[in-house]
Amino acid sequence: MPTDNEMIAEARARLSAERAKVVDELEMLNARLETKGDYGLGEGDPMIYEWEFNLVLRERAEQHLTEIDQALEQLDTGIYGRCERCGNPIEPERLAVLSHTTLCSKCAQRRR
């Protein structure tokens, strides 16, 4: 069993790596979204769908970034890895896949 400190250090490294990836993604999406004017897009243009798709992706990436920042904050305050709904520890396997989650698998399933 890894100690709490090891777990926290690992989670922090994972979250930082994930954060860098999302920031890259956001920059790429922002660059793509900025080119809208150059195409002179009109209503019904197939390119507009791709543009709108990028807009949705950007919203998702921004949401993801907020969640990662929240998780990093929780690491600092020592409440990382606790389910915000039931207060039980979140399964380590779940955190390994979804480092930024704030719900245990039971509560996450209940939310759906």
The smaller minimum CB distance to Zn ion, of residues 66 and 88, is found at: 88
String marking each residue 85-104 x if it binds Zn ion according to CB under 5 A: xx-----------------x
- Does residue 82 belong to the site contacting Zn ion (CB under 5 A)? no
- Does residue 83 belong to the site contacting Zn ion (CB under 5 A)? yes
Instruction: Kindly provide the b/e burial profile for residues 47-77, where b requires at least 16 CB atoms within 10 angstroms of the residue's own CB.
Output: eeeeeeebeebbeebeebbebbeebbebbee
The smaller minimum CB distance to Zn ion, of residues 61 and 103, is found at: 103
- Does residue 107 belong to the site contacting Zn ion (CB under 5 A)? yes
